[in-house]
Amino acid sequence: VRVSTTLSGLAKISAGVPQGGILSPLIYNIYAADQPTSPNTAVAEFADDKAIISIHDNPHTASHNLQLHLDLMADWYKKWRIKVNQSKSLHTTFTLRFTPCPMVSLDNIQMPSSQTAKYLGLTID
Residues 67-80: tens digit of each pLDDT: 999 999 999 999 98
H-state helical runs in 35-115 = 59-79
Question: Residue 13's pLDDT is what?
Answer: 66
Q: What mean pLDDT value characterizes the chain?
A: 86
Contact 36, 104 (CB under 8 A): no
101 secondary structure, DSSP code: P
What does the longest C-alpha to C-alpha distance in the chain come to?
A: 65
Confidence of residue 97 (pLDDT cuts 50, 70, 90): confident
Contact 44, 55 (CB under 8 A): no
84 secondary structure, DSSP code: P
Contact 54, 66 (CB under 8 A): yes
Contact 101, 84 (CB under 8 A): no
Question: Residue 24's pLDDT is what?
Answer: 81
**Cα(21)–Cα(47) distance, rounded to whole angstroms?**
11
